[in-house]
Amino acid sequence: MAIQILRCVGLALLLFFLFNHPVCAQKDFTLRVVATNLEIPWEIEWGPDGMLWVTERPGIVSRIDPETGTKQVVLDIQDSVYAALESGLLGFVLHPDFLQIPYIYLTYVGGDTAGDYRVVKRYEYVEDTLIDPVEIYRISPAGYLHNGSRLAIGSDGMLYVTTGDHYQEFPALDENSDKGKILRMKLDGSVPYDNPIPGRYMWSKGHRNVQGLVQLPNGSLWASEHGNNIEDEVNLIVKGGNYGWPRVEGPCDEEYEIGYCDSNNVLTPKWSSGGFTVAPAGIEYYNSDRYPVFANSILLATLKHSTLFQLRLNDDGDSIVQVLDYFRRSIGRIRDIAISPDGRIFLCSSNREPNGVDPFPEFDDDKIVEVIPVPDSAIPIYSAPDTMFVKARVGDEFLFHVPVSNIGTAPFRIQFVGELDTGLFLRSDQWRVPITVLPGRTYPLNFVFKPPVDSEYFTESFIATDSLGNFPIYLKGSTVVGVLDATIDTLVVQCRNCSEESIRLWFVNTGTDTVTVTGATIEGDDMSAFEIVAIDTGVVQPADSASVTVRYIGPPAAVMQSVVRINTTSYRDAYTTLFVTSSTSVGSEASGELPLYVYPNPFSSTISFIIPPELIGETISLYNLVGSLMYSLDSGTNQVVEWDPASSGNVSFSTGAYLAFVTNGKISAMTLIYYFGQ
């Protein structure tokens, strides 16, 4: 076990130049947990009653005691809110004179589907309850992606509302559309006379998805905005401003952008993320004496980067002169920030939303935490195993975890993992490194070992920190190993009264040593539709097989999916994806619409389409949400068709939703698929 205590000295100074951020900055602050087990908190705001007001995306508004974490629900509209993907109950703002005028303005996507509507409603706070909703604005149809949805009341007494482009290509620049805009309205929902265009809510245009909005004491309005695959932005918003999307992304620095920028007076961001994205969310202005290090700065929460950024402003408050970062990947996706009048800083995480991030959510997510200082005497202490014993065969990737703990009293940062070209490397998970390890926390670093040759092996890597030096990771093991593989990755079973039949799945030992079967499990959303009736447990010799027998116990007429996993003493388990189509009759001619099943969904690389038997051989057509055909996929004679957007030639698929459609002219099948691009 490696344990070391050091001050920030020579190595930290070197890493400063390598990584371009202040060393030891993380020692200044840590986090105190205020409340846990929330359900995707989206906005937090310090109320004049001394409580933290919080929206949770399924449809809950609460007041949370910042000292005890006690939660009081003041509104439950889960029956009215459509919470899927990026939709749900989102932003809110309290009336600036809340104690005398107890109004709160909320925005949410409602209806039976995400295509119904998004509203802004005003509620009154009376006796610990929000009552008497009054709708002041509606946009319909709404979207389940790119909703924007931050609200702010300016010093001019107007309500500012951000909208996304709803994952559509051109509305952001269309002055006749409210999509992709920052809107300005009176508190009763009427249009101010001095808006840029008479009779329209538009205050600025050309926005992709604004999820942070704050007004500074000098009256300037700032917004954070999601880019596509590059160039997230922080913008200074001006009346009638054009911010370029989708013609411009980030600064006007590409040849195809410059001409449009020059002729349309496009305003460029005050900060952008460059050739990657951090997924910016809530922003707040900080200028309290409580923490002078944050003075005259915009604080920016990020989701993908899971980091709190400090954007220090110049004295005039119109440009960013320094960028610092804190708590890199310490609590996961940071959604929003709240600041009390005396300068306390609170953050909320939103790790339970569908985003594919691991190791979050944790068992007690989501959280609200307070940023607190650590004393000058505090020190970080690194603790982790330095030797791992593993077995893996040549050609396989063996994934294992190295738990890195901080048993000290100050944070430290893991900067990078040394890769010595020996087959051992850190799994390329964007949220893993760099990472700030807070006191009392443990983070499992995901390593992958790919044995280059058959042999007994010994290899070495190291973990580099910002202030504690380098720590070795030794790997010892062998390529003589037993491992089971499924004889079929995906099995599609069609039957009448399926509960009368048993399904036997086979697994073969393709390794060079024995392996022991210890059990089997059924996983997935439809796991309750299956039961295991028999398992071949015990030792399996090389080239021998074992089986798992499953019975379908679901509805008599349905299509159900599960994953049957066989558990072994090997370094990995084997599994088969099982689809069962159960019917109460056979031989009838299908007509009308049939279900089109896919997995996984959402997906980030390869997706599998399960073609209804009646449509095998037909083309799978993929459309974007404006109805344009993006790609046609030949299903051949296969019922299970795999597809990777990266294999689509010159057709570029960006993150978002697409419609998959199959038809033979008489019957059809369709579904929405959700792609999260790499």
What is the predicted pLDDT for the residue at 422?
64
Single-letter amino acid code for the residue at 652: S
Q: Are 473 and 505 in contact (CB under 8 A)?
A: no
Mean pLDDT, rounded, for 407-435: 77
- pLDDT over 50 at 14, yes or no: no
pLDDT band, residue 6 (cuts 50/70/90):
very low
Confidence of residue 238 (pLDDT cuts 50, 70, 90): very high
How many other CB atoms are found less than 10 A from the CB of residue 513?
A: 16
Q: Which residue in 30, 29, 12 sits closest to 21, CA to CA?
A: 12
The per-residue pLDDT for 400 is 82
Query: What's the mean pLDDT in 174-185?
Result: 95
The domains spanning 28-373 and 382-478 adopt the same CATH topology: no
For residue 13, the surrounding DSSP H or E stretch is helix 10-19
Across residues 317-326, what is the average pLDDT? 95
| pTM for the whole structure | 0.78
Q: Where are the domains of the chain?
A: 28-373, 382-478, 484-583, 592-675
Q: How far apart are the first and last CA of the chain?
A: 36
pLDDT band at 12 (very low <50, low <70, confident <90, very high): very low
Max Cα-Cα span within the chain: 82
Q: Does residue 586 have a pLDDT over 50? A: no
What is the DSSP pairing of strand 490-496 with strand 515-523?
unpaired
Instruction: Please tell me the CATH code under which domain 382-478 is placed.
Output: 2.60.40.10
The answer to whether the Cα torsion of 642, 604, 43, 152 is positive or negative is negative
pLDDT interval class at 534 (50, 70, 90): very high
Q: What is the CATH number that goes with domain 28-373?
A: 2.120.10.30
Better pLDDT: 267 or 144: 267
**129-163 confidence digits (pLDDT tens):** 999 999 999 998 887 788 899 999 999 999 999 99
What's the CATH number for 484-583? 2.60.40.10
- In this prediction, residues 421-431 reach a mean pLDDT of 63
pLDDT band at 677 (very low <50, low <70, confident <90, very high): low
Model confidence at 447, pLDDT cuts 50, 70, 90, reads confident
The pLDDT assigned to 652 comes to: 79
Give the E-state strand segments of 374-465 in sequence order.
382-384, 387-391, 398-406, 412-418, 424-426, 435-437, 442-449, 456-465
Sign (positive/negative) of CA torsion 174, 200, 300, 289? positive
For residues 649-671, average pLDDT: 81
Rama region for 317: left / alpha / beta (φ>0; ψ in -120 to 50; rest): left
Q: What percentage of residues in the chain have a pLDDT greater than 70? A: 90
- pLDDT-based confidence at residue 114 (cuts at 50, 70, 90): low
In DSSP notation, 23-77 reads: TTGGGGEEEEEEE---S-EEEEEE-TTSSEEEEETTTEEEEE-TTT--EEEEEE-
Q: Give me the CATH topology for the region 592-675.
A: Immunoglobulin-like (2.60.40)
Distance CA 518, CA 515 (A): 10
The DSSP letter of residue 515 is E
| Alpha-helical runs (H) found in 142-272 | 255-264
State the average pLDDT over residues 411-437.
76
The neighbouring-strand residues paired with 472 are 462
pLDDT for 17 beyond 60: no
Report pLDDT for 140: 87
Judged against a pLDDT cut of 80, whether residue 592 lies above it is answered with no
Q: What are phi and psi of 614, to 5 degrees?
A: -70, -15
pLDDT at 484: 93
pLDDT, tens only, 340-352 = 999 999 999 999 8
